[in-house]
Structure 1
Amino acid sequence: MNKPLSSLQFPAIVDPFGRVDALRVARCIGFIATVLILWVSLRPFPDLGDPTIGDGEKGKLATTYITLGILSVAVLMLTAFRHAQAFRSLLTPMCLLLCCWMCINTVFSHDFEISSQRLILTASAIALAASLLLLPDSQTELDLWLSAAVLIFLAVCYLGVILAPSLSIHLASDTSESQLAGDWRGPYGHKNVAASIMAMLVFVGLYLASRRAIISGVLIASLAAFFLISTGGKSAMAVCVGALVLSAMVAAIKNILVRACLCFLPLLCLNLLTVGSVFSERFAAVAKLLPFDATFTGRTDIWAFAISSLALHPLLGYGFAAFWGTDAIESLVQNDQIEWTAFASHSHNGYLDSALTMGYPGLALIVIIFVVAPLRNFSAAMRFGNDEPLAKLFLRIWLFGIYLSSMESFLLDRADPIWFTFLIGVFGLHYLARFRLTREPKAA
């Protein structure tokens, strides 16, 4: 990039004269509120033993739409004028193409109402993630606010386990997946979500510790790691370790092609051995040699169902977020029989789900924007001398996300906390590749 990097001011609450800056207070509140609402959600600690838990969800969902809509507008108002250049930098041809394709996909969806509603919620989450890093005036403020938000969130999670264990830990009396009894799930409905969030918070703790915030950094990393282990989330733990190792190797190597091989070849192999084992006997034979369940805890059945369904609508898919849990599945019923896989909430593979809902063109755009571009942005950030610990944090979050997507589905999943945190990593790398950090708050 030949153009000079501008100074992107990443706000102090009190100015040098001791006066409270109301606008900066608003930005601080907006930052912490955004993080907590997206991580904790407006429907925390669901009672999984209640068979009527799904009743009344529409009313609660309406509250989520309204709250996130208002919050996204407020945060955009706090950042849009100050950082118009940063927002304009997001309007890349590929991003505009993806936005257009999502709209086209929604119009031709098998369930227009569901697709349009979920598109609005997804857009709100994307707007919040894109604005979040633009709220602080400096990296010091970013560190301070991030520490506060994460510690509050961890306090909520641990207080839930201590004060309301029946709502924070999987029980044998749960209406589904009673075999998970004893695994911590925090404010979420499943341990896998809690495990993924805690894994990414380990990265946050390590980043803060590297920024000489030793006490808060070590505390966050330790609390998040213990909670992660307590969830029993094997996939999240494995991907967490893998992301740490890969990020260290990527940061140490300067060649972009070698970096690409390090990041993408294992990812390709992982998807070939998982989803690829469904349509290739050769890959299936290799998968059987691995020292764990070759069906990946029954996911091969779901992948087979998803792939056969995708073959019917390869171009447009079934509509934005309009396959699992919708009437689209009913058209796939044969002989009045429907396998249990048709009742799954997702395919346990984010790339496959992206193709299911937006067709192969949509999948290609997602891979370009969320898989390929962030590595290029990391390389640019390092070349321009931007803060290495912060770039490593975003790199680890991004690596964790693209690998976890091979086993879980969260890409473009509305206000999903994993998706939101992954977006922070993606947008963070985008900004660091184009703008210089302001290390300390500017004097008034």
Structure 2
Amino acid sequence: MSSTAYMDASEPDAMRRRVGSFLFMAVFLFLWVSIDPYVDLTGEAVLDPSAGNSSRLNQIFALLLSAGLLGYGLMHPMRGMILQPRALLAVLYSWFLMVSLISAHPMLGIKGVVLSVMMTVNASIYLLLPASERHFARMLGLGTLIMLAFAYYGILFKPTLAIHQASELREPMNAGLWRGHFPHKNSAASAMVLAAFFGLFVMNSWSRVAGLAIFVLSFLFLVNTGGKTSTAMLPAILLLGWLFEKMRPLRAVIVIGGVGLFNLLAVGSAVFRSFGEFISGLGIDATFTNRSDIWRFAFSALSERPLTGYGFRAFWQTEELVYSGGSVETWAVAAANGHNSYLDIALAAGFPGLLLALPWLILLPLRDIARIPADRQQAPLTRLFIRIWLYTIFHAGLETLFFEGGSFIWFTFVFALYGLHLQSTALLAEGIVPARRKRVAHA
């Protein structure tokens, strides 16, 4: 069985293990718990477009952790893996930067691109921190249990901050739904789906008791978030992952065809009214929880700038959009994002940006999975990465998940991409391995 360490065959020294463990847990808790949990959503500040700006303390922690990860990664024998594939990512992020520089909000775009690059670098180093697969499973399990403890602590002892209230200004209709220490029920729901995947992996790689506890607690919390999409996607992704594993010749069809069809059903039903009526006739909610107005508005805006888009982070929640006034699509104008990752990439960087992103997000992982040796195709580690990948690319059809600089979902997705690549290239260490072998997985 392979691991996430992928280091030289020699045992890592105690100092490297301690540093790796500290960085692993610090990054996990920073992203999954944050330094400011239990956000109050009842204040008027939540309606301000600039209210989401990170605090100075949050920025300091992010920079310190990024510096620590980069220092660890540069001293690692596999430092060549950092920020791969570099040619594609260089072109992709250069395009993001260029369209941002010519946008109405260049500084927002530059900041967004820098944060996204930092997150990608950090995620490319993250799987080099554990010393073995069991070490990875133990730290992932402990981190997830701490996250769940924060979530349930809020429900029990801080209900006004951990459960949506009717007094909230933005979405009072969510009253009674659980969000724990997360800022919104949808974020909490996504976290619990990923935590459930972690639990299944921990059950098979470290502790059955801890893994089962993680899965049960995550599922219980997920149901109480009211996140219908995420709740339905948990069993759907487990089933899809099983089909993906068993039907190797149809993997490309399942992923490319499935993502394409899912987006056609969602966005297509909003943009093309006749198609939307057809979907409604099948008993499917063609509005996809009132997202149709947003998608129609987004497509209308995209049609005006299809090549360069509006710049990275320079469309949704800008002051001129939120305070435009007099618009028929009031809800769409005030939306925090486009609720579709693929559409938001096109809005930010035009269709060329979307075409540059899709190979990294979908095609290269498919190639890496096809290259994973048969004895590791059904390994718990491989299954974990595939489930994270499948969940994110399908869920991206209904939420904005890609290239989000401070998002735990985006970070988890990116390290899963690197995990699939490492699984496809690592050699299983048996006995003494020649020093020239760089990519080695510990048994």
With the length of structure 2 as denominator, give the TM-score of the two structures. 0.89
What letter corresponds to residue 52 of structure 1 in structure 2? Answer: A
Deviation at 1:336, TM superposition (A): 7.0
1:379 to 370, 382, 393: 370
Residue 281 of structure 2 corresponds to which residue in structure 1?
289
What letter corresponds to residue 217 of structure 1 in structure 2? Answer: G
2:142 maps to 1:151 = no
Residue 140 of structure 1 corresponds to which residue in structure 2?
134
Residue 238 of structure 1 corresponds to which residue in structure 2?
232
Alignment partners' CA distance in 2, 1:7 and 1:71? 19
Q: CA-to-partner distance for each residue in 1:303-323, whole Å, 9 max, x for gaps? A: 010000011111111001211
| Structure 1 contact 384–433 (Cα < 8 Å) conserved | no
Alignment partners' CA distance in 1, 2:53 and 2:101? 25
Deviation at 1:349, TM superposition (A): 0.6
Residue 351 of structure 2 corresponds to which residue in structure 1?
360
Residue 9 of structure 1 corresponds to which residue in structure 2?
7
How many percent identity over aligned positions?
32
| Structure 1 contact 10–138 (Cα < 8 Å) conserved | no
With the length of structure 1 as denominator, give the TM-score of the two structures. 0.89
Residue 269 of structure 2 corresponds to which residue in structure 1?
277
Q: CA-to-partner distance for each residue in 1:205-232, whole Å, 9 max, x for gaps? A: 1112122521111111111111111111
Alignment partners' CA distance in 1, 2:298 and 2:428? 44
Residue 434 of structure 2 corresponds to which residue in structure 1?
none
What letter corresponds to residue 72 of structure 1 in structure 2? Answer: S
Of 67-76 and 291-300, deviating more is 291-300
2:300 maps to 1:308 = yes
Residue 93 of structure 2 corresponds to which residue in structure 1?
99
Residue 388 of structure 1 corresponds to which residue in structure 2?
379
Residue 37 of structure 2 corresponds to which residue in structure 1?
44
How many residues of Structure 1 are paired with residues of Structure 2 in the alignment? 430
Distance 1:285 1:382, change over 3 A: farther
Alignment partners' CA distance in 2, 1:164 and 1:29? 29
Residue 79 of structure 1 corresponds to which residue in structure 2?
73
Alignment partners' CA distance in 2, 1:189 and 1:108? 32
Alignment partners' CA distance in 1, 2:145 and 2:10? 20
Q: CA-to-partner distance for each residue in 1:46-95, whole Å, 9 max, x for gaps? A: 11122235689588433322221221111111122214454257134322
Deviation at 1:136, TM superposition (A): 1.1
Of 176-185 and 277-286, deviating more is 277-286
Of 278-287 and 401-410, deviating more is 278-287
What letter corresponds to residue 213 of structure 1 in structure 2? Answer: S
| Structure 1 contact 11–138 (Cα < 8 Å) conserved | no
Task: Specify the SS of the correspondent of 1:45.
Answer: coil
Residue 117 of structure 2 corresponds to which residue in structure 1?
123
Residue 437 of structure 2 corresponds to which residue in structure 1?
none
| Structure 1 contact 321–413 (Cα < 8 Å) conserved | no
Alignment partners' CA distance in 1, 2:398 and 2:52? 28
Distance 1:57 1:276, change over 3 A: closer
| Structure 2 contact 322–334 (Cα < 8 Å) conserved | no
2:367 maps to 1:369 = no
Alignment partners' CA distance in 1, 2:72 and 2:395? 33
2:191 maps to 1:200 = no
2:212 maps to 1:218 = yes
Alignment partners' CA distance in 2, 1:79 and 1:309? 41
Of 102-111 and 357-366, deviating more is 102-111
Residue 18 of structure 1 corresponds to which residue in structure 2?
none
Alignment partners' CA distance in 2, 1:11 and 1:289? 60
Alignment partners' CA distance in 1, 2:12 and 2:327? 67
Alignment partners' CA distance in 2, 1:364 and 1:227? 37
| Structure 1 residues without counterparts, runs of 5 or longer | 1-5, 16-20
Distance 1:144 1:336, change over 3 A: closer
Alignment partners' CA distance in 2, 1:310 and 1:205? 40
Deviation at 1:103, TM superposition (A): 2.0
Distance 1:86 1:238, change over 3 A: farther
Distance 1:54 1:436, change over 3 A: farther
Of 102-111 and 345-354, deviating more is 102-111
Deviation at 1:14, TM superposition (A): 10
Deviation at 1:431, TM superposition (A): 1.7
What letter corresponds to residue 416 of structure 1 in structure 2? Answer: S
Deviation at 1:143, TM superposition (A): 1.2
| Structure 1 contact 68–124 (Cα < 8 Å) conserved | no
Alignment partners' CA distance in 1, 2:82 and 2:113? 21
Alignment partners' CA distance in 1, 2:304 and 2:180? 39
